[in-house]
Amino acid sequence: MSQEINKTENQDLSLVVRAIGTDLEHTQVRVIASANADMLFHYWKVGHFILYLQKKEGWGSKVIDKLSKAIRLQYPDKKGYSTRNLIYMCQFAKAYPMEVLTEMGKVEELLNSPSVDNVLQLTNELNQFTQQPVALIQNSDIQGDIITQQPVAQLEEVTEILSTIYHCDISQIEEIFKHSAIVRTNWASHVILLNSKLPLGECYWYITQAVANGWSRNVLQMQIETNLFARQITAKKVSNFSVRLPKPQSDLANYLMKDPYIFDMMEQTDKMAERDVERQLVSHITKYLLEMGSGFAFVAQQKHFEVGDSDFYADLILYNIQLHAYVVVELKATPFKPEYMGQLNFYINVVDDTLRGEHDNKTIGLLLCNGGDKVVAQYALSGYDQPIGVSDYQLTKAIPENLKSALPTVEEVEEELSKGLRIENDQNSKI
């Protein structure tokens, strides 16, 4: 028996500990996600509750201000109930009534294999979807006076009103809400989306991209400001992917491609040589891989190839995990010229021959030029068998230093919102 104990003590338990630790980490993520969903559901319910009172009792913005003060007076330890945040809760409820959440669920089921055409069709359908949550508020036997007599209603009254609005049990409402895409991102990101005034379909797309790529609220803000949806979905892209790559790889390659690409140079000048562009791309590779799209990994810069008796250097070589393919990127500081295609085609052939493995798909080429004629580019593509895309790139100013990358807490959001409100009030008092 003692021998068995000693044997157990001497065993390496590192794998067991690692397995338990991994499960703990996953559990913690689920707990955080659950807490986020609970908070968003609460904000959504409060938003509906206030909308009900506005319609039933003729509430205005001043009443919301009084409600904010009453809540904070009664619950001084609770954050997130400033006037501004209560208004955001109302906008949140207006933007995502039950019908919208259900419609988003249907769209999500159809986007397992995203393509430009599929995404464009489904987001357009969401854009046309009528959002009328307030119209659902019916005259019921709920007496408004029992609500307005109290600055803060009990939670049971909020849920009762929500059930009355949607003619559904609160547990069913909660299940639909928590299975929707909107619970997968945080409140600060929702505030950014509400302020963006984007159509419903685009909002939904940005939410799914933020979740899939792990964007912080600041990255989300940057992607909206640079109009990622237009650059990736509605842009008229120039490529031969549809005829040189099999489906669904051709659809995915075209979906991941952007036009133009936005390179946020930290030391930009009015005129930058392609070597300067390339140098900064590599020095800030994390940021630029984000711009390139989902699943890209850096392989090499100025990759040396010895072909025959000559030396050649490819600008950038990336690998896309989703495509299972190498991507050769050629950077040109000048507008598109047909002869650029020959150089890129050469590098694709070399990568196919020297780097491409047994399980890798066909190497893809991406030519980034500083402007050029799309018609000329389309004609130039017709003579090449390799899959090649041609896009423009633009140089923009650096991201402001004051943007934080970390996800904010509720307290931080409240503080930001309060600062904004104080500034507005100060400005109004001076008028």
For the stretch 277-312, pLDDT in tens is: 666 666 666 667 778 887 888 898 888 999 988 999
Of the candidate CATH numbers 2.30.30.60, 3.90.550.10, 2.60.15.10, 3.40.1350.10, the domain formed by 231-396 belongs to 3.40.1350.10
Task: Give the pLDDT score at 109.
Answer: 81
Task: Give the pLDDT score at 277.
Answer: 66
Task: Give the pLDDT score at 187.
Answer: 93
Task: Give the pLDDT score at 193.
Answer: 95
Domain positions in the chain = 14-216+406-430, 231-396
Task: Give the pLDDT score at 198.
Answer: 93
Q: What is the DSSP string of 175-210?
A: HHHHTSGGGGS-HHHHHHHHHHT--HHHHHHHHHHH
Task: Give the pLDDT score at 217.
Answer: 86
pTM: 0.73
Q: Residue 93: enclosing H or E segment and its boundaries? A: helix 83-95
Q: Could you say which residues of the chain have pLDDT below 70?
A: 1-33, 59-61, 130-156, 264-274, 277-287, 395-431
Q: In a 10 Å sphere around its CB, with 0-12 CB exposed, 13-18 middle and 19+ buried, how is residue 12 labelled?
A: exposed
* Alpha carbon 72 to its chain's center: 33
**Amino acid at the residue 228:** L
Of residues 267, 274, 233, the one with CA closest to residue 251: 233
